[in-house]
A and B are shown apart, each in its own frame.
Chain A
Amino acid sequence: QKEVEQNSGPLSVPEGAIASLNCTYSDRGSQSFFWYRQYSGKSPELIMFIYSNGDKEDGRFTAQLNKASQYVSLLIRDSQPSDSATYLCAVIPLSGGYNKLIFGAGTRLAVHP
């Protein structure tokens, strides 16, 4: 079982719609969760981090964490074509030390006009 799993997509949504991206993780003791956006040929950029169960909102983005289900999601409201990218879920597992950041395979999002 992979440590961090995501649907590779592509997830296609129309402009203005809500895009929902999902991620599950295997280490139940994980405490820190991150969403990154990566454009082709570029390095990842941090969108949000979340540590506590529940929702965390930042502008058009909402991260949701459910530790009991080992599930974290990212909602993008009012999706724009510029949001088209690969979204990477990343987790710091309890095991391993040094607070290593482990990435999922990423979900490709395509927002069409």
Chain B
Amino acid sequence: GAVVSQHPSRVICKSGTSVKIECRSLDFQATTMFWYRQFPKQSLMLMATSNEGSKATYEQGVEKDKFLINHASLTLSTLTVTSAHPEDSSFYICSARDRATNYGYTFGSGTRLTVV
């Protein structure tokens, strides 16, 4: 089946630095990818929708200048958390739709970000 690879799985960074998270579709082309954030004991909150070759669409309340999304190819989307603060510490998960199977939402394994 469809596989989405997400790296890194865990990252610890200092306040004020930037962190890049990669999401790759390994065996299919993903025209659309989604980035979610999940705080402890809470559900997944959609942050933004990433479309190959165009600007990402951000959900209300998500700062586009803080969470930079790039979807330069059909197999790779990146999320960069800029000027990270401790409150950005969370579990970030990407999801890709399999272009061939329109109903398929495959999730990456997630990235645990801790900002100290």
| Chain B associates with chain A | yes
A residues contacting B by CB (< 8 A) are: 32, 34, 41-46, 49, 51, 88, 90, 97-106
| Known contacts A32-B103, A105-B43, A100 near B93 by CB under 8 Å | no
How many residues of B are in contact with the other chain, CB < 8 A?
24
| Known contacts A32-B103, A34-B105, A98-B57, A42 near B43 by CB under 8 Å | no
| Known contacts A43-B108, A46-B105, A106 near B49 by CB under 8 Å | no
* Contact status B46-A101, CB under 8 Å: yes
* Contact status B34-A88, CB under 8 Å: no
* Contact status B44-A98, CB under 8 Å: no
B residues contacting A by CB (< 8 A) are: 6, 32, 34, 36, 42-46, 49, 51, 57, 91, 93, 95, 97, 103, 105-110, 112
Chain B residues with Cβ under 8 A from A105's Cβ? 42-43
Chain B residues with Cβ under 8 A from A42's Cβ? 109-110
Nearest residue (CB) in A for B51 is: A98
Please pick, from A44, A45, A99, the residue contacting B44 in the complex, using a CB distance under 8 A: A44
| Known contacts A101-B95, A106-B43, A43 near B57 by CB under 8 Å | no
| Known contacts A88-B43, A98-B51, A45 near B105 by CB under 8 Å | no
Q: Would you list the 9 A-B pairs with minimal beta carbon distance, nearest first?
A: A43-B110, A105-B43, A43-B107, A103-B44, A98-B49, A103-B43, A43-B93, A106-B43, A43-B109
What separation, in Å, do the CA atoms of A46 and B97 have in the docked complex? 13
